Structure 1
Amino acid sequence: MSTVYINSAACISAQDTLNENFTENFKPEQSVQIVNTIEPNYKEFIPPAMIRRMSKTVKMSSVASHFALKEAGVEKPDAIIVGTGMGCSQDSEKFLKNVIDNHEEFLTPTFFIQSTHNTVSGQIALGLQCHGYNFTYVNTSSSLEFSMLDAKLQINDGEASTVLVGSTDEQTQRTMELYQLNNSIKKKENLPVDFLHSKSDGVIWGEGSSFFVLGKDKTASSYAQLKDIQIINTLELSETQQFIEEFLHKNNVKKENVDAVILGFSGDAKSDIYYKKAMDSLENCALLYYKHLSGEFNTASGFSTFMACYILKNQRIPEVMMINQVKKSTIKNVLLYNHLKGEDHSLVLLEKV
């Protein structure tokens, strides 16, 4: 089985992550119900006539994928794989609104065509004139992990040498209203949020787009080696530590050799107990969290993967992400653990190159 490298990483998020010195300006978001991305000037990357027809998630993905391919020095990847939880929900809402407003008559198909989840990967492929393998995973919070697992298999099987892998999700007004009604989003009276010691349910909702180029060859721009990925739909709280220990054992990594663990604390008291359980057996590692920077959303793990790549390459952990004060002299192995509302648990192991 060949080695798989992450050769580039680009992210559009609630932080200014397209900026070279983005960690110096990290601003935790703890006092709002919904956080928006810091968007680039799309006119610099996309023709104005096309911008008008693109939803936010397509625009974010087009720019993030551009940066990822440019950094990796790849003009046209062999495959494009995208993970998304909600897809192009802005266009979905527009289409449904048209259905209602027009009493199901005289409908134009544009919004419906653009609302499909695979619009993102399709638009990127059209822009690059890439006719290779093109796939979209819609697996809620593990969409990126499934995408990376597929890319790893494509490379290991010799089907591709370079794969563009991305994750993206956008906010929409109506969906956010529904999330507030079912208490998925924090109530105003529960703000500001103490992400690590929250006593209330619900999260601060975010959005973002993260893209990576995976390849079989190590390059000058390589960030990390993608060692392994494991995904499970449901997990009993009592099985959390065993889930992590068996994953590490499978990869011949002892717990004491894990240098940093990035946990998906979201401020939701009901589901964050999994992360607290995981911490009990990983106290000798540098424990980190990140959703106070990105917000919670289906593919928020894209932000944590981006940050893990940054940490491995620069050998530096931003203070704002630290839960404990453990600091290893060399950061070699980084473990990522994420889930959404206690379901779709994923583990990703990255190693320094």
Structure 2
Amino acid sequence: MLNKCYIQATSAISPQHTFEGEFHTQPFVASTRNLLNVIEPNYSGFISPNNLRRMSRLLKIGQTAALKCLVGSEFPVPGAIITGTGKGSLHDTEKFLKNIREYEETALNPTPFIQSTYNAVNGLIALQQKCTSYNNTFVHRGFSFESALQDTLMQLQEGVESVLVGSFEEMSEEHFYIKGRIGHWKEGATNETFLADNQTTGSIAGEGSAYFLVTAKPASRNLAVIEGVEMVYKPTTEQLGNRLQKFLAQHGNPTIDVLLTGENGDANFAHYYQYLHQQFSPSTTIIPFKQLCGEYDTASSFATWLATEILVHQSLPLSLQAYNTASLQNVQHVLIYNNFMGEQHSFILLSK
């Protein structure tokens, strides 16, 4: 399987100022209720008014992020569209279920059902760009985005010239409440700036969408390289360390300049991160990223977008400097380590 691809363009809609303006100089945006909702952009430049009023919130977020990514590339019609999502459109799913109960399965509006399917975003992007090629959505919980990346590498190996790969996730009030009842989120006020240091049970909820236009060939306009992706299911800390060493060895044992970790302040899973910290030299800058985006199934896609930003700018953005004021120089390799609920662990390696 092809073990690398080249990022030509990116786009992200997140709880931070990532969509418009210069993210690197923007201050950290916090929440007061342990829920980080995305900062929604002006959709009018990407979606027509007639379509906009009929679309759900997640469809607008996902399609706009994807179209913004394509605008910044030389492939307005990608050779394939591949995405990952853990939950899909929660709002539409809940709306449809409520309608079933309210109308007793009669006279149901089909629109919420149609828009709640996991591949609805992909379909809209394909219709908008008239892309009739390979189109696939992975719904693998914490492995959703990583599975999309692996499929992307296989498509490029088979000769596809370009792939639009990304993710989309939303958090509804009902889902936030339900997951809070079973201890997924922290109780009371949380200092989100230093989320990783808040070692109590639970984390903070998040949502977002990130897209990447990738190709199999190097070019002067490329932003970064995705060297490879590795997934590990329910490992012990020792097994995780062994898979890390094997993964790095497969890519020439590069010196990791920055390690982006999915530390989310949940004491239940802190031991994985503490063990991983010990596998790197003191020269590696270790930075948690979920204080920026919150915890959700495809948060690793936001980390991939953030890693690309660090490689392009060769420095940490202002929103991360409160946690680590390290002065980065000549950043060549960024490694992302994330785990979802202690079960699905992944590594994504990027280089300059």
Does TM, normalized by the shorter one, top 0.5?
yes
Per the alignment, residue 4 of structure 1 pairs with 5
SS at match of 1:270: helix
| Superposition deviation, residue 196 in structure 1 | 2.5
Does the 8 Å CA contact 2:25/2:318 hold for their aligned counterparts?
Answer: no
Q: Paired residues, what number? A: 348
Q: Which runs of 4+ in 1 moved over 3 A?
A: 322-328
Per the alignment, residue 76 of structure 1 pairs with 77
Structure 1: distance between partners of 2:103 and 2:134: 38
Gaps of 5+ in 2: none
Residue identity opposite 1:333 in structure 2: H
Q: CA RMSD in A?
A: 1.8
Residue identity opposite 1:18 in structure 2: F
SS at match of 2:227: strand
| Superposition deviation, residue 218 in structure 1 | 2.5
Corresponding residue to 1:281 among 279, 298, 302: 279
Residue identity opposite 1:52 in structure 2: R
Does the 8 Å CA contact 2:92/2:112 hold for their aligned counterparts?
Answer: yes
Per the alignment, residue 183 of structure 1 pairs with 183
Q: Deviations over 1:2-54 (max 9, x none)?
A: 85201111000001101231222231536421111111111222112211221
SS at match of 2:268: coil
1:143 aligns with 2:144: yes
Gaps of 5+ in 1: none
Does the 8 Å CA contact 1:30/1:204 hold for their aligned counterparts?
Answer: no
What's the TM-score, normalizing by structure 2? 0.94
1:313 aligns with 2:312: yes
SS at match of 2:347: strand
Residue identity opposite 2:161 in structure 1: S
| Superposition deviation, residue 342 in structure 1 | 0.7
| Superposition deviation, residue 132 in structure 1 | 0.2
| Superposition deviation, residue 80 in structure 1 | 0.2
Residue identity opposite 2:251 in structure 1: N
Per the alignment, residue 330 of structure 1 pairs with 330
Structure 2: distance between partners of 1:211 and 1:185: 27
Residue identity opposite 2:300 in structure 1: S
What's the TM-score, normalizing by structure 1? 0.94
Residue identity opposite 1:262 in structure 2: L
Residue identity opposite 1:265 in structure 2: E
Structure 2: distance between partners of 1:234 and 1:88: 27
SS at match of 1:16: coil
1:209 aligns with 2:171: no
| Superposition deviation, residue 192 in structure 1 | 3.0
Does the 8 Å CA contact 1:2/1:155 hold for their aligned counterparts?
Answer: no
Structure 2: distance between partners of 1:220 and 1:90: 41
Deviating more after overlay: 84-93 vs 23-32: 23-32
Does the 8 Å CA contact 1:183/1:202 hold for their aligned counterparts?
Answer: yes
Does the 8 Å CA contact 2:89/2:117 hold for their aligned counterparts?
Answer: yes
| Superposition deviation, residue 183 in structure 1 | 1.2
| Superposition deviation, residue 301 in structure 1 | 1.2
Q: Deviations over 1:77-98 (max 9, x none)?
A: 0100011011111110110000
Residue identity opposite 1:307 in structure 2: L
Structure 2: distance between partners of 1:113 and 1:122: 11
Structure 2: distance between partners of 1:45 and 1:175: 29
Seq. identity, %: 32
| Superposition deviation, residue 220 in structure 1 | 3.7
SS at match of 1:38: coil
Does the 8 Å CA contact 1:58/1:119 hold for their aligned counterparts?
Answer: yes
Structure 1: distance between partners of 2:244 and 2:283: 15
Does the 8 Å CA contact 2:8/2:224 hold for their aligned counterparts?
Answer: yes
SS at match of 1:213: strand
Does the 8 Å CA contact 1:31/1:192 hold for their aligned counterparts?
Answer: no
Residue identity opposite 1:310 in structure 2: E
| Superposition deviation, residue 325 in structure 1 | 5.9
SS at match of 2:10: strand
Deviating more after overlay: 21-30 vs 40-49: 21-30
SS at match of 2:150: helix
Does the 8 Å CA contact 2:3/2:153 hold for their aligned counterparts?
Answer: no
| Superposition deviation, residue 186 in structure 1 | 1.2
SS at match of 1:54: coil
Does the 8 Å CA contact 2:332/2:351 hold for their aligned counterparts?
Answer: yes
SS at match of 1:331: coil
Residue identity opposite 1:295 in structure 2: G
Does the 8 Å CA contact 2:26/2:318 hold for their aligned counterparts?
Answer: no
Q: Deviations over 1:112-146 (max 9, x none)?
A: 12111111111111111110000000111221111
Distance 1:30 1:110, change over 3 A: closer
| Superposition deviation, residue 320 in structure 1 | 4.1
Per the alignment, residue 36 of structure 1 pairs with 37
Residue identity opposite 1:151 in structure 2: T
Structure 2: distance between partners of 1:239 and 1:321: 30
SS at match of 1:227: strand
